[in-house]
Amino acid sequence: MTTDGSGGRLPVALRTEALEQLLTERGLIDPKVMDGLITDYETNVGPLNGAKVVARAWTDPRYRRRLLEEGTAAIKELGFSGPQGEHIVVVENTATTHNVVVCTLCSCYPWPVLGLPPSWYKDPAYRARMVKEPRKVLSEMGLELAEDVRITVRDSTSEVRWLVLPERPAGTERLSEEQLVPLVTRDAMVGVAKVKAP
């Protein structure tokens, strides 16, 4: 057990850093390769899965209905499941309703469709402030919503993880499912951004 010298356990981040340093010193891992893998999973692999789910829902009304009624099962239809994805509820953003996701207790997050949670999602300030002043926090993150748009903050837990089905941007009606996928971002599926038309 790794301790802080007084018998108490070191925080996870410090233990992880110590383990990485040990593995690097022994030549078992290359930190640059590890950083690249983590970045890829954080920004590409995981969010790409979610983007495929969203694009399918935008182009297939029957799939969209199943996704909103039983998120976990509909997501599994596309082959995305696993730890941290056992119970995913999907909510839809519209012109008048905006959903945003936070985990007030820790950083519960739907890994199979979003990859690793970004650092800001785990930040105590985001977790506390998003519940109290969502419109202000969203504005600080670059998302301005009209005053008549109702904001609902969804609190992810170990029992329920939320995924936002973003509003499809105008001007994308003729795009295929495959063409829509690259437009969908992780931030839009958390609800801190909107999907932009190409």
- Annotation marks residue 108 as catalytic: yes
Q: Which of 81, 108, 139, 158 is catalytic?
A: 108
Phi, psi of 57 (to 5 degrees): -65, -35
- Annotation marks residue 106 as catalytic: yes
Q: Which of 6, 81, 107, 139 is catalytic?
A: 107
Sign of CA pseudo-dihedral 104, 38, 137, 145: negative
Q: Which of 6, 81, 106, 158 is catalytic?
A: 106
DSSP 63-127: HHHHHHH-HHHHHHHTT---TT-SSEEEEE--SSEEEEEE-SSS----HHHH-SPPHHHH-HHHH
Cα–Cα distance measured from residue 103 to residue 113, given in angstroms and rounded to the nearest whole number: 16
**Tokens 């509820």 sit at which residue?**
89
- Annotation marks residue 176 as catalytic: no
Q: How far is CA 123 from CA 4, 107, 134, in A?
A: 23, 9, 15
Q: Which of 6, 81, 103, 158 is catalytic?
A: 103
For 35-177, where are the E strands, in sequence order? Answer: 88-92, 97-102, 150-155, 161-165
Show which residues are catalytic: 103, 106-108
